[in-house]
Amino acid sequence: MTLSVPGVGSTTTTIQLAGGASTTVELALSTSVGDAGDYTVAVETPDDSDSTSVTIVAQPDPAQFNITLIDTNSPIKESETLTVAITVTNVGDLADTKDVTLSVPGVGTTTQSVQLAGGASTTVELDLPTSVGDVGDYVANVGTSDEFRETRVTIKSGGPSVSDYTTTQDVVDSTGLRNAFGDWQKGDINSTLLRDVFDAWQSGDIRDDDT
């Protein structure tokens, strides 16, 4: 007796029966990845044949957590907390729980566990505290065991700097210059920083609100 599925394979077994006897036979045929579909199965002996329809369904894809970067709060000052916001999407069919990690070489690492059903996504914020002495420009790595992304972050000195007197366009306008002069009069900043702020204001790349 032969069981055959076109495009999939066939299997054969031998049956011995006495006259007038009958028996039940189970025929098993292995399938492979890529065999998903609808088929007509034929069962044949030298004396007779029959057929039926069967469906082979595809195996579900395992969970895979992909990463999309949203934003960071960089630049920050040393001793402040770096925050990186990402979207995590499970592009697989099966649910799973995986660790999402933010790592900044020389600064530290933080990990958060995320559980997602197949096809689901969520927004995750990863917070990494910094310390005094972490000043510098870094490449932060964020992601899962399936996918990582890189983003540049900056940690500035915790003391006063020219950036404390700039606008959202990173320029020093006359308001910033006045604030710096007031802080110098109060003793909050030294004359070197005041001169740096003045030089930045005096440079051509400024927006002077008084003009």
Are 95 and 63 in contact by the 8 Å Cβ rule? The answer is: yes
Q: How far is CA 34 from CA 30, 43, 54, 185, in A?
A: 12, 23, 15, 77
**For 189, which DSSP code?**
S
Residue 161: predicted pLDDT: 83
Whole-angstrom Cα distance, residue 196 to residue 160?
11
Whole-angstrom Cα distance, residue 129 to residue 150?
18
Residue 209: predicted pLDDT: 46
Residue 206: predicted pLDDT: 47
- 3-class DSSP state of 209: coil
- Which residues contact residue 95 at a Cβ distance below 8 angstroms, ignoring those fewer than 6 apart? 63, 115, 116, 117, 118
Residues of the chain with pLDDT under 70: 204-211
Residue 8: predicted pLDDT: 93
Q: What are the residue ranges of helices labelled H in 13-141?
A: none
pTM of structure:
0.62
Residue 204: predicted pLDDT: 53
pLDDT per position as a tens digit, 76-128: 988 899 999 999 999 999 999 999 999 999 999 999 999 999 999 999 999 99
